[in-house]
């Protein structure tokens, strides 16, 4: 049993490392190395962070992944002993349920993130825990999991909560895992790739942008949401100039394209 748990731990940690270095490393290589000057007009803050910031982002992300692996392995042990609602036979529930469970997981996580993030900004918590993440005022993809260990525990708790709360197939957990990783990296990309008007058009305004989270790192007490711009809208916590800044960033990239205005 213990050797199986240890093997599972190593597999989990290895998988987390591969995912992190692929999902953060590929955009980093493209945006910060290979096409650095060509894509500079897409840069949200018109400057690049110092190397030591990225070193800190990577080291804290590695420590977070160790914690994620501990929790993930604990979930595996609970599952082995029949305590979770994870089901491995995909036909135990319908395909419609499988799809529903992915969306439910994402929306519940979005609410969980928003409120736990608000808690992290409480003046009695922020300087001791969440400040680590905010040391990146101009974040790079490496910052996606740069958390204080206590925050990493708080973040990953959504997984045990969900597997105890509702039936989930490993495929649903996998899809959610990829989605949250991609969106987390996207939020810390430091470059805006969406088109002007994205934050105000009726079909796209409900989704967050890289600018949204970048402004959270720059201004701190605003833009707390993760995937969707629902809770920030409802609670009035979007930065008051979010839409203007977003459109200005998009305008800047177009201006650079036109040589007479450059
Ligand atoms: Zn924050
Ligand atoms: Zn962040």
Compute the distance from residue 178 Cα to the ligand 2 centre, in Å.
17
C-alpha 7 – ligand 2 centre gap (Å): 32
- 139 within 8 A of 43, measured Cβ to Cβ: no
Measured in angstroms, how far is the CA atom of residue 42 from the centroid of ligand 1? 23
- Residue 133 Cα to ligand 2 middle (Å): 6
**Rounded to the nearest whole angstrom, what is the distance from the C-alpha of residue 205 to the centroid of ligand 1?**
21
For the chain, give every domain's residue range. Answer: 2-193
Q: In a structure prediction context, what are the per-residue pLDDT tens digits for the chain, which is 262 residues long?
A: 788 899 999 999 999 999 999 999 999 999 999 999 999 999 999 999 999 999 999 999 999 999 999 999 999 999 999 999 999 999 999 999 999 999 999 999 999 999 999 999 999 999 999 999 999 999 999 999 999 999 999 999 999 999 999 999 999 999 999 999 999 999 999 999 999 999 999 999 999 999 999 999 999 999 999 999 999 999 999 999 999 999 999 998 876 555 544 4
Ligand (nearest to CA of 222) = 1
Alpha carbon of 42 to ligand 2 centroid (Å): 19
Q: How far is the CA of 33 from the centre of ligand 2 (A)?
A: 21
- Distance, CA 97 to ligand 2 centroid (Å)? 32
């Amino acid at each position: 049993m213990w050797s199986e748990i240890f093997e599972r731990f190593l597999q989990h940690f290895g998988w987390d490392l591969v995912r992190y270095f692929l999902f953060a490393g590929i955009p980093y290589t493209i945006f910060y190395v290979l096409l650095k000057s060509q894509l500079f007009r897409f840069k949200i803050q018109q400057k690049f962070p110092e190397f030591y910031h990225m070193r800190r982002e990577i080291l804290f992300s590695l420590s977070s992944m160790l914690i994620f692996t501990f929790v993930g392995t604990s979930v595996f042990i609970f599952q082995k002993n029949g305590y979770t609602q994870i089901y491995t036979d995909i036909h135990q529930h319908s395909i419609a349920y499988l799809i529903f469970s992915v969306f439910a997981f994402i929306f519940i996580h979005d609410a969980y993130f928003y409120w736990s993030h608000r808690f992290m900004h409480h003046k009695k918590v922020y300087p001791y825990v969440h400040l680590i993440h905010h040391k990146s005022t101009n974040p790079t993809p490496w910052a996606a999991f740069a958390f204080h260990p206590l925050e990493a525990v708080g973040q990953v708790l959504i997984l045990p909560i969900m597997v105890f709360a509702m039936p989930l197939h490993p495929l649903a957990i996998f899809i959610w895992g990829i989605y949250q990783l991609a969106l987390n990296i996207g939020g810390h990309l430091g470059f805006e790739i969406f088109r002007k008007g994205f934050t105000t058009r009726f079909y796209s305004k409900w989704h967050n942008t890289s600018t949204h989270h970048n402004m959270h790192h720059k201004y701190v007490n605003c833009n707390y949401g993760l995937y969707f711009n629902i809770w920030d809208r409802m609670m009035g916590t979007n930065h008051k100039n979010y839409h203007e800044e977003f459109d200005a960033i998009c305008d800047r990239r177009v201006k650079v394209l036109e040589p007479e205005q450059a």
